[in-house]
Structure 1
Amino acid sequence: MIDNLKSMSPATEKGCRLAALMEPSGLADVDLNEKRQNLTRRKRLNVRRLNLLCSTPYYKKKKTDNINTVTDGFVTDNQVQLGTSSEVIKKVRERLVTCWSHGSISLIGRRREMEDAVAVKLGLLTKGSKKYDYFGVYDGHGGSRVAHACRDFLHRLVIQQVMEEDNDDDEEENSIINWEKVMKESFRKMDEEVSEEAGEMATMGSTAVVAVVGQEEVIVANCGDSRAVLSRAGVAVPLSTDHKPDRPDELDRIENSGGKVINWNGQRVLGVLATSRSIGDMYLKPYVIPDPEVMVSKISDADEFLVLASDGLWDVIPNDVACDVTRRCLNGQMRRFSQQRKSHNVDARDEQSSEVVKESLAAQAASFLAELAIARGSRDNISVIVIELNRSVCSTNE
């Protein structure tokens, strides 16, 4: 009788199942079938519980490429293998996610002209199973054209250089990227592109601090006095060193090349430029060079977030203060005054309130840092990028 159910309509099948339950000869078969249904139902319930625990849609994974989706600055995973919640989160962290969220801001501050620029390129590179995101802060001087050129083209030169490295390797899938060579060549080519323009751009330049963030490592390349600072287990760790003319090694290099450092409202190259390295500034070569210093750091479980900013921030806010403020913002303990006013203003439009809610915590942290720098007396343009690397660590360090 059970075999005949397969060819029946759902309504007829339901009636026959009820009849079978009433027949002694059909009880055993139906019980076995019900056990299979109960087992399937329990599996479905377990999957639903897992989804509720992790708040992420999971699907059985086939042997296909992993797909990442970026939404409003947050990275979520669309394909992972079923397992316990801790195993899933570990796989997402180690294999699929480069950063949990990010936020950036660029303010003119008390300057008459805006000369800063920022660049955020998610999913810039994919090397085998590894994915890399790109973040850059560019602080222009003498004008904004060089900073804008870096914003538009430097990341493309990085891609081009990585591709050239791949062409030189026989085993492209397993080859290791020589990040120091890639960054130095990319900055050099960017400087050449700017120098070819000549004309008005001959007296313009820009510092550049770039961070390429992968699942396992962070690569920082710095040229000038912008800065990258990593918060690791509650401690501010600088990933770059400012290129100032009075830095002993930079002073020796400038003097050995025939230049001078003159104290003119601060130590300056030939009494003009307050940074010893930059992209552009043709009239100050060979004293001012475009060579970046590159640092490659392995990401650990204690790493919380990364802050990239121009000297408009670092001139008035120390590394540890910036990290402390950022951590509190990411924990939801601090909000910008303008956001508090919007959220508590009865006459505020619903659209404005929703914008405040939708803004990521990393974006709020970047905005808070920029406004704090202005409140502390910064007179320069201020550009900040906050990159959240590990959400769980930020909350446990308080």
Structure 2
Amino acid sequence: MAEICCGVVSESEGGSCETSTRAARRRRADPAVKRRCLDLCDKPLHNCGGETEKLSLRSEKGKQLPPPIVLTPILNPLPSSSSGAGISSNRKDALPKFGFASVCGRRRDMEDAVASHPSFFRREKRDLEDAAAALHYFGVYDGHGCSHVATKCKERLHEMVKEELLLDDVGEEVSDRNSSSWWRRVMERSFTRMDREVVAWNENVVENMIPSCRCELQSPDCDAVGSTAVVAVVTPCNIVVANCGDSRAVLCRNGKAIPLSTDHKPDRPDEMNRIQAAGGRVIFWEGARVLGVLAMSRAIGDNYLKPYVSCEPEVTITERSEGDECLILASDGLWDVVSNETACGVARMCLKGKAKVMDGGTDKACEDASMLLTKLALARRSADNVSVLVIDLS
């Protein structure tokens, strides 16, 4: 062990470097000094409580030397649940690596919610073609009016999708379980059930006057509360996206941005025709709004705007390929100020940069990518809550 001396030697104490070096060699050769050194080396520096034990070393003249410097080992931290970092594995059906960030931004209240449920559903092994493969659920919900509908979606929607998968899994052929019509049926029924549960919960709150969040304390009317929902179910072969509202899912494949959902804005031609056919109107007041109120044409909740505002999701199924790099789910707080191409470029930069430096640390890279995208949205003066979830598909 090397000795480092830090101090000033006065002229009275001084001597030649050669003399002091010979004296140091003689002291080290002294058996008594060797025994003291061995005793100190064998003595543990850390006790069971994690506190560093202070060692007091004194020279032969009784002068107290500064305590030794204790170097704490640098450990790779485990991903925390609050950060949303994913868990990696080398298995074929390994849990995907992901990370998310959600910030209030310039809004008074935080009304977004993010859900991540790796391996939330696993099919039974039926034959060699259909091995027991896990399905992974991710969702971003952008609430409006209050946060409780987005919170309800975060807590319950994945459970409803799982229940519908179990119902449709009985008696279905292997080929039917991956068809567009099968997935569309599962997602539509899940979103409809979620909408009915939110409406029933609101009615129960109003009838019993149960103050459970800010909107009930301010007003007994909860019908003006809703939430968007963009949900992605990642399977070994496909990416299934169900979207209701103006949150968005974008796939980064071979460096290119591929939107997997289309925003439900009231001025979208087909949405405007649907609203008008139902007897409603789209009024342009600070942007296109349903009846001049809501800036999206589809959402869960918003009972006072039905049937003009629908809870029916649009479902897309995209076959996975070797060129898939990452999937980005985000609320409109990001997409209002950041393009699909820019978001994919930032995410790719973070994933590739961290992959070169860290061994198996791309979960941290997803977390960094989501945080960097939220900071970019805020730097570009986004006026909404910003929630970003990045899933590594590589």
TM-score by length of 2: 0.68
After the TM superposition, list the runs of 4 or more consecutive aligned residues in structure 1 that deviate by more than 6 angstroms.
none
Q: Name which of structure 1's ranges 200-209 and 264-273 shifts more when overlaid on structure 2.
A: 200-209
Query: Which residue of the other structure, out of 377, 385, 389, is the alignment partner of 2:389?
Result: 385
Given that residues 98 and 213 in structure 1 are in contact (C-alpha distance below 8 angstroms), is that contact kept between their aligned partners in structure 2? no
- Structure 1 segments unaligned to the other structure (5+ residues): 1-70, 78-91, 335-356, 391-398
Q: Residue 142 of structure 1 aligns with which residue? A: 145
* Residue 161 of structure 2 corresponds to residue 164 of structure 1: no
Deviations 1:330-378 (A, max 9, x none): 12279xxxxxxxxxxxxxxxxxxxxxx8971000000000011000000
- Structure 2 segments unaligned to the other structure (5+ residues): 1-83, 125-131, 207-220, 356-360
TM-score by length of 1: 0.68
Deviations 1:291-319 (A, max 9, x none): 00000111000111000000000000000
- The 1:248/1:364 distance shift into structure 2, 3 A limit, reads same
Deviations 1:143-174 (A, max 9, x none): 0010000000000000110111123x166x77
- The 1:324/1:72 distance shift into structure 2, 3 A limit, reads closer
Q: Residue 276 of structure 2 aligns with which residue? A: 255
Given that residues 354 and 362 in structure 2 are in contact (C-alpha distance below 8 angstroms), is that contact kept between their aligned partners in structure 1? no
- The 1:222/1:72 distance shift into structure 2, 3 A limit, reads closer
Q: Residue 105 of structure 1 aligns with which residue? A: 101
Match of 1:96, SS? coil
C-alpha separation in 1, matches of 2:246 and 2:363 = 29
Please give the root-mean-square deviation of Cα atoms over the aligned residues, in Å: 2.0
C-alpha separation in 1, matches of 2:197 and 2:172 = 30
Alignment of 1:177-256 (within 5 A): 177=178, 178-197=182-201, 198=203, 199=206, 200-256=221-277
Number of paired residues? 280
More helix by share: 1
Match of 2:228, SS? strand
Partner letter of residue 369 of structure 2?
A
Q: CA deviation at 1:122?
A: 0.8
Alignment of 1:212-361 (within 5 A): 212-332=233-353, 360-361=364-365
Match of 2:195, SS? helix
- The 1:269/1:132 distance shift into structure 2, 3 A limit, reads same
Q: CA deviation at 1:386?
A: 0.1
- The 1:359/1:162 distance shift into structure 2, 3 A limit, reads closer
C-alpha separation in 1, matches of 2:282 and 2:322 = 43
- The 1:307/1:358 distance shift into structure 2, 3 A limit, reads closer
Q: CA deviation at 1:98?
A: 5.5
C-alpha separation in 1, matches of 2:95 and 2:352 = 20
Match of 1:221, SS? strand
Given that residues 370 and 384 in structure 1 are in contact (C-alpha distance below 8 angstroms), is that contact kept between their aligned partners in structure 2? yes
